[in-house]
Each structure stands twice: as structure tokens, then as C-alpha cells.
Structure 1
Amino acid sequence: MRLGINGLVGSVFTGTVAGLALVSLVWTPYEPLAIRLRDKLQPPSALHWLGTDEFGRDVLARIMAGAATSLTVSLLTVAFAATLGTALGLAAGYLRGATDRVLMVLSDALLAFPGILLALGLVVVIGANKYGIILALGLAYAPSVLRVARAAVLSVREREYVEASRVVGNSEWRTVWRHVLPNCLAPILVLATSMVGWVLLSESALSFLGLGVPPPAPTWGNMLSASRAFIERAPWLGIAPGLCIAFSLLGINLLGDALRDRFDPRMEVGRWARARRCWNCATCV
């Protein structure tokens, strides 16, 4: 599948971050939690490529461990939100009636709040830990998946093959599982890819505010928060996690845009229109 230059760049950035996270599971240059006060606030050098923090911990090792933590939280959150939102979207779009109205009212009520504010409130209630963040962010972003899944189901449920499945005697849920759901996965996949970036940013923001994965476990957000007190004396403490967040978001967004261009029929129509214009005229305008 060709994704173009955006997809290539996004895949490289995203793959690099994922590679760091995977490598950190088996190896880091230093123990991320080991305290060495004699080495505190050391600038980048041959021994510590990204320097050390206020407790003498190696910043590169913590960046690698933080990548694993942040990506794990993001991927589990997106999996939870996508599963819940898709299931509710299938029920709303296929059953219609009172089920559709109730689910859409609940969805609209949740979407009235910005995702990060809703997650912030839920984390306060559930608790600031890894699984509390996954549950809070998953509930905050599930309504977006619900609306996309419902729209796709409303289009697919009227197709001829769905009617044929009913005619041959298949149950409603077998029809949904075998014929409706597979034909609704493309927009959900595109949304889920972009949602990884949204969740990563939200998780970093919660960690920055002290409501993320509790220290001493490293995440990019709490590393960025801890660097505020040393921004003039040790700027590398904030530069490293900040760049990791920026490059991760850039890579995920580029990959999501490439997948949208690949799977969205409207984008395909736009490409054919541009091709016809180039063929019919001497100069593209």
C-alpha cells in the first residue's frame, strides 16, 4: 500500500519512537530509576548523551522508558475507546429508534466537554495511575469513535448485500458481524491512528499537571514538568522530552493524514478531478 511522502515520513518518526519503546523493555544505557547524586545535572557528554537530571538519573534512559510508558498508555486507551465506541456506534446505527436517540444524547453530552477537561475530571474521581488514565481517556474519546462508527453503519446498512444477508435467514447480529462491521473499519482505523496522537498529548498534559502515571516512573510529561525548576541551569532536561512529544505527534499526524488520503473516497475523487484537469488543460490552475 503506497502512502506517499507524508506516510513515509510519518512511518519513520513513529517507527523510531516505537523502536525506542521496544528497546527500552530489554535494554537502557543506565537504570532509569537509579539515583546518583554525584552526577546530578550533568550536561550532555560521551557518558550521558542527553545529560542527567536533578537526581543524577540518565535522561536518555528515562526518555526510552518514558516512550514505553507513554505509548503503552496511548495504545491501550485507543484500543479501549475504539472498541467501546465501535460497539456503541454499531448498536446506534443499526438498531436506530430509541437506542440511537439515547446513545446520541449521551454522546453529545460528553462531546460538550473538551476531551482533556473531561479526562481531567475523570482522573480526579478514578485516581491518578496508569489504568485510571486509560479508563478516563478512553471514556473521553469513545464518543468521537461512536459518531464515526454510527455514520458508517448508517451508510452500509442500506446496501444490497446486507439485505441479502437478511433474506437468506442470517440473524441480525450475524449480519452486523459478517457484513456491516468489516465495511465500516476503514474510517474507524483512520480515526484511531489520529487518536493515538491526541491521547499521547493528553497523557503528557495530565502527567505535566501531576495527574498522570505517578513518579518515579518516567513519562515525557512528568519529565517536562520536573524540568521547569531547572530551565535556565539545565535546559536539556526540557528539550529532550519536548522534542520527543513533538516528533511523535508529527509522525502520528502525518501517518494519519496518509491513511485518510488512502481510504477516504472523497480524497480519491479529488485526486481524479485534479488528474482530469491536468489532462484537459495545458496549465494547472
Structure 2
Amino acid sequence: MSKPIRTRIADLMHAAWVGAAGRASRTVLASLGIALGVAAYVALSGIAASNQAALLAQLDALGANLSVVAPGVDAAQQKVPLPDYAPTTIARQPQVERVGVFDTAPEKVQIFKNGLCPKTNGNALALAIMRPGALDAVGASLAQGHGIDANNEHLPVAVLGSDAAYRLGVNEPGDRILIDNAWYGVIGILNPTPQAENLNAAVIIGEQWALGRYPDQADTIGRISAIYVRTTPGDAEGTRRTLAHAANPAGGNVSVTASADLSKARNTTNDSLTTLGLMIGVIALAVGE
């Protein structure tokens, strides 16, 4: 019975070397093509990935991963207050990164540059009352100055939205304005906030100062008007479905709104750019071969 023919590894290596060395120019060109293909794949994949990350970051900054939890309404169209523990229970959700709380503002507030303005003239400015960290959750950035935190929320200081600063004629921190006949020092001016446009024409003060300044409305001011919830990028759609229950486990009416179209656009963009990056990589490898 004949034995099967076996090729030794040394013979295979020798044959491969003879094939490669026998036609050196072809070997060099083949190696160069493979190297160029791999380099093109790495370069194009890196460019596609960085552009994808930059675009998704811009969408997130515009509010793709931002939800707003607010009091709902009952059958009589009356607002149902959010429980005081709502920010805490929302913050415990695994995909929630930051939570910012704004309280209910006093009624019929008058905001002017100084006491020379006629009281009958309205300037369409709103007063907003924030708790420390609210602007971080919104993603609002400061053009000048600094925000309200635990160190100054009990003081008569204010942060102006971009439109509010323009209408009041305030160009930099250090100026002062009148709110209900009381002087407030301006400590910061916000950049435009497309993710929370209501803040553009708002004058923002701290919760602790507001409670002391309006004792007759303390019960109303202590109620939550809006909770801004910043979630992990790409998880806004899934987390949004759980926010109402997290805000009020007892089952009260809760309103949850967000830039829904923007969130869906983010997911679609992510999928499309990922597919495009893979296609570019395959084409680069094919050309290199």
C-alpha cells in the first residue's frame, strides 16, 4: 500500500521564497498595493469616524439627548404638580447623566433696566428660577461671567439669556437690573440656547433668593415647573419612555417632551454614517488589492 505524499514545511517555504524572489518587481508591486490598501482603509475609516463623532456631538448639543419633564394636566385641564422627589428618582435611572430643575416663577413680574422705564411698558421678558446645576443639564453655555450655584443662589444676582441681555441693554456682567423694584447684580450672560429657547428671553435667579424675596408665593415657587434630563448619547428614545413613571411612580399625570425628530435624526444619521464608513473601507481595500 503506497504512502501519501507529504510536503515538508521547509519545502513549502523554499517554494514560496523562490516564487517571490524570482519575480521581484511583481512582489514589490503586490506588497505596495496591499500596503496602500490598508493605509487607505485606516485613513478613510478614521476620517469617517471622526466626522461622525463630530456631527453626533453637535446633534446632542442641540438637544437630541435632552428631555423635558413637566407637570401634566388632569381631566379638568388643571396642572398636576410634580412630587418633590421627582428629580431624585429621575436621576437614579441608569441612562440619565444630568438633571436640572427650574421652579415656578412668581406671577406678574416686572423686569427693567432701571427705575426710569415706565411701568406700563412691557418688555416680554420672563423670570426663571433655577436650582444649582440646571444650566449644565440644559447644556447652556455662558458668553460672559458665571452662573448661579450653591454659593450665590441666596443672593440677589441674575443670569440673563441672550435676548434678555439685548433687550435690557446689558453688555457685560457687573451691571444691574430691576426686578419688581429690587436691584439684582448681573453675574452672567448666556449664549443662545436652541435646545431651550424659552431661556433666551429669560432672567434667571436662584431658588433660595426667590423663596425669601416672595414669601407670599413660597408655596407656588417651591413647585417644579420643568426638569431637564440629559441622557446618554443615543439612549434618549428608550429612556424617555420611563421618565414619566420615574418622575411620579404613583401614576400622576406627567408631561414628557423632547426634540423627538432630532433624536430620530441622530439615530438615522448614526446608522447611515456607520454604513458609509464600512463601504468606504471595503472600496479602499478593493482598490489596494
| TM-score higher than 0.5 | no
Which has the higher relative contact order, 1 or 2, with Cα contacts under 8 A spaced 6 or more apart?
2
From the two aligned structures, give the one with the greater strand fraction: 2
- Select the structure of larger CA radius of gyration: 2
TM-score range, shorter chain: under 0.3
From the two aligned structures, give the one with the greater helix fraction: 1
* TM-score (norm: length of structure 2): 0.26
* TM-score (norm: length of structure 1): 0.26
